[in-house]
Structure 1
């Protein structure tokens, strides 16, 4: 696929592609935004806390299909892989702990677990930070790998005071091992990622990753908090703009209404299906969330007021695109917002661009509002 993501701003890069009449880049951009891969590795001793952490990153509980067991069916030295059931492009890798042997060669360990293939690595520990884990971190830094993070996993019953003591002890180990400017040690409660330091870890990870990978991770993570739902909604802006530009480019190239409407409907349905899964509005996600939070599934499902939240059908997508077309037909000139956003190449097909933009943005707004209500109800926000 064409590399249209060299810029630090996806939207700006997409606009530049359209201004230079690079419709093929826009097509590739839509595909990349829909199916971009992300590989995260979780390194450390295996056990209940680590398995729960991996499952929570996928929005799963221990009994769900595809969940990571406390003891993976591989030898202690092997790597275990866990694809996301809803987002196959999001894969988590369970890396064994760095052996406690001395001497220890971090390069050999990293080669064995294929350290270079992961977009980010979480080095986890429960109590004391193993010195050889620090040596792996230092070797990664020497290789210019910045997306390596220390994560203190809270054991069941651990108090915040105990966790803070373990965090400080971990920082002392980092200093004693020669880490000049010790990085942050993030405290994470595996069964409740919305608490403690995980939101901050997610912020830092999103800033450190290449933008297309950060985008893929954000859309694949479960809808943990209202803030994360809002960030997911914002992340769809580049995809919606790309889909609208593709619609305008197709309409300009093949100005046949029936052909254009088929293309628009197919692209819009894929974008909205991605939004439904990302916002965790599908049946399976809502039911899992209800089980995890002790809520009544029917109550959470009843909060979905947008038809698309319960299921994306081409009939509903066509109806929304047609309604947007009718709304725009009643306006003699494009709105100032659409005119400013529209690439020069697409202005001959401005109505197609504006209709797709309006229909998708309105639909995602409605779906995100449903997700906000479900998350607030499940977490007991406002009580």
Structure 2
């Protein structure tokens, strides 16, 4: 998922758009990256494990308002969906359990729950997948839907040995039902950083369209240091797109143009980065509760002022400082990113790139410190 823009050829697209003066295309790219909805469906029995998974994917604990509960209040035949107020573009759908009766029509179930409207589907189970679930998987593959995955959810009494035994049995079921090269991911809902969930994210990132993969990446809570690094890289790609737009704003460079023109988009990007990196007070309070830390201890690890609060004044100050210092920045990045006729506008591009990338690095470092403290040496 680190190379979230692999198929967009973002840099070349931006070059071509600026070359032909199609700044609206560049602006649309930035908007797509800032606001991109993704719908993830979870299929399986509505037990403790499924509720825990839904909550963990949102960074919630069972005590949080709006958390999924078990037993579920949703009728067995109905759908339920969950959002995160901080990431309204990320929706989790709790699909009805699949019937175990025979004969079974997978197409009827898929039509009823609108299966193909979801960007990715997790087929969850706690023992082995039922043949009817496999039938849905095969039907999805028959219509070229590749983003369907089998996830074995760990229960309270499971051990690593019992989970491996269940995985082996599950793979045999999948093979016997006609799945070629079957794959089953072991997932511990309460601690997603363990076992196979990071690998599942990597596969989803490769399989999903780039903008959808980016939306998923930015909406997930910080689970591993790798995920923090991927979030940081994704925001730097977004900064590059926004800075390229900034470079095309005016072909006549003016003093402090970046601080005046680009502060609004800078605030939007850094505000989204702060929420995505779970640096806001609410996210830190949840992390402290879940990992047994004092809230004040984790909050004290935020050393970047933007980690605490993103203000237009601070963003303007950083942009202005970057413009004053722009002469010391290598022009190689500018020459790579900007067509020849637009290089007169490179001052704004370089200043925005320097200021926002520096801020992203500082905020990412704060997120890594909090994650290391809460997970690495949690109390």
**TM-score relative to the length of structure 1:** 0.93
Q: Which residue number corresponds to residue 298 of structure 1?
A: 296
Return closer, same or farther for 1:182/1:237 CA change in 2, 3 Å cut-off. same
Q: Is the 8 A contact 1:11 1:238 kept in 2?
A: no
1:320 aligns with 2:299: no
Q: Is the 8 A contact 2:6 2:210 kept in 1?
A: no
Deviations 1:47-89 (A, max 9, x none): 1100100110111111112211223332101110001221000
Q: Is the 8 A contact 1:98 1:132 kept in 2?
A: yes
Return closer, same or farther for 1:244/1:106 CA change in 2, 3 Å cut-off. same
1:76 aligns with 2:76: yes
Q: Which runs of 5+ in 2 are unaligned?
A: none
| Residue 256 of structure 1: how far off its partner (Å) | 6.7
Structure with greater contact order relative to length (CA < 8 Å, sep ≥ 6): 2
| Residue 7 of structure 1: how far off its partner (Å) | 4.0
Helix, strand or coil at the partner of 1:250: coil
Q: Which residue number corresponds to residue 164 of structure 2?
A: 164
Q: Is the 8 A contact 1:171 1:182 kept in 2?
A: no
Q: Is the 8 A contact 2:11 2:337 kept in 1?
A: no
Q: Is the 8 A contact 1:41 1:121 kept in 2?
A: yes
State the alpha-carbon separation in 2 of the partners of residues 133 and 76 from structure 1: 16
Q: Which residue number corresponds to residue 64 of structure 1?
A: 64
Q: Is the 8 A contact 1:250 1:260 kept in 2?
A: no
Aligned partner (choices 368, 371, 375) of residue 367 of structure 2: 371
| Residue 175 of structure 1: how far off its partner (Å) | 1.4
Return closer, same or farther for 1:380/1:220 CA change in 2, 3 Å cut-off. same
Return closer, same or farther for 1:142/1:286 CA change in 2, 3 Å cut-off. same
| Residue 93 of structure 1: how far off its partner (Å) | 0.3
Helix, strand or coil at the partner of 1:88: strand
Q: Which residue number corresponds to residue 148 of structure 2?
A: 148
- Cα-Cα RMSD: 2.0
Helix, strand or coil at the partner of 1:83: strand
| Residue 252 of structure 1: how far off its partner (Å) | 2.9
Helix, strand or coil at the partner of 2:16: helix
| Aligned ranges 1:236-255 → 2 under 5 Å | 236-252=235-251
Q: Which residue number corresponds to residue 192 of structure 1?
A: 191
Helix, strand or coil at the partner of 2:121: strand
**TM-score relative to the length of structure 2:** 0.94
State the alpha-carbon separation in 2 of the partners of residues 33 and 145 from structure 1: 23
Helix, strand or coil at the partner of 1:347: helix
Q: Is the 8 A contact 2:56 2:190 kept in 1?
A: yes
State the alpha-carbon separation in 2 of the partners of residues 31 and 77 from structure 1: 37
| Residue 270 of structure 1: how far off its partner (Å) | 0.3
Helix, strand or coil at the partner of 1:33: helix
Helix, strand or coil at the partner of 2:205: helix
Q: Which runs of 5+ in 1 are unaligned?
A: none
Q: Is the 8 A contact 1:226 1:372 kept in 2?
A: yes
Q: Which residue number corresponds to residue 362 of structure 1?
A: 358
1:342 aligns with 2:338: yes
Q: Is the 8 A contact 2:292 2:378 kept in 1?
A: no
| Residue 147 of structure 1: how far off its partner (Å) | 0.3
Q: Is the 8 A contact 1:245 1:346 kept in 2?
A: no
